[in-house]
Structure 1
Amino acid sequence: MSTGLSDALRVLVQWQSTPNQALAILQLDPDLPFPEVLSEEQCERMTFVLNIHSDLGTIFDAPEDRSGYMSSPHDDPYYEGKSPLELISTGDLTVFERVCWHIDAMRVL
């Protein structure tokens, strides 16, 4: 298992992701969750997880705020009362990109 994949999975655990959510987020096959070679899309998804994690580290000082942000529902119109984790768990790469960009934009506010 690649270091990046293990780091992304560690982050997903911190975000309180279920195993099924983690599989959907990273587009991993339940029968082979730790592939020797990741596809380009899997690498992109892994990068999104790690970038969001890094961004949250610059936005929030408290570790519980960093990890809790992703699993907490938000009133922000973008999230429509859902948690970012719930949105990215749909597996839709476009939604995942938008959540990543939204959180990245929070750094500059």
Structure 2
Amino acid sequence: MSTGLTSALHILAQWQCTPNQALAILKLDPDLPFPEVLSDEQCERVTFVLNIHSDLDTIFDDPDDIYGYMARPHDDPYYNGRSPLELISSGDLTVFGRICWHIDAMRVN
């Protein structure tokens, strides 16, 4: 298993992600959740998780905010009362990319 996948799974667990959510978020096969080689899309998803974590670590000082942000529902119109974790758990790569972009934009504001 790649170091990036291991790190992403660890981060997802800290985000209070269920195993089924992790499979959907990273597009992992339930019958082979730890592939020897990741597809390009799986690599992109791992990168999104790592980048989001890095951005949250830059934005927030409190570990509860760093790890809790993704699981908390937000009133921000971008999330419309849902949590970022709920949105990326849909498995839609476009939504995942938009969440990553939105959080990255919070970092520079």
TM norm structure 1: 0.99
Separation in structure 1 between the aligned mates of residue 80 and residue 63 of structure 2, nearest angstrom? 25
Cα-to-partner distance string for 1:3-49 (whole Å, 9 max, x where unaligned): 00000000000000000000000000000000000000000000000
Q: Which residue of 1 aligns with 2:51?
A: 51
Once the two structures are superposed, the pairs formed by residues 1-109 of structure 1 within 5 Å of their partners are: 1-109=1-109
Separation in structure 1 between the aligned mates of residue 100 and residue 69 of structure 2, nearest angstrom? 13
Could you say what the CA RMSD is over the residues aligned between the two structures, in angstroms? 0.3
Identity of aligned residues (%): 80
Q: Where does structure 1 lack aligned partners over 5 or more consecutive residues?
A: none
Q: Where does structure 2 lack aligned partners over 5 or more consecutive residues?
A: none
Separation in structure 1 between the aligned mates of residue 92 and residue 16 of structure 2, nearest angstrom? 19
* Aligned-partner residue type, residue 73 of structure 1: P
Separation in structure 2 between the aligned mates of residue 4 and residue 108 of structure 1, nearest angstrom? 25
| TM superposition outliers: structure 1 runs of 4+ over 6 Å | none
TM norm structure 2: 0.99
Would you say how many aligned residue pairs link Structure 1 and Structure 2? Answer: 109
- Measured after TM superposition, the shift of residue 108 of structure 1 is 1.1
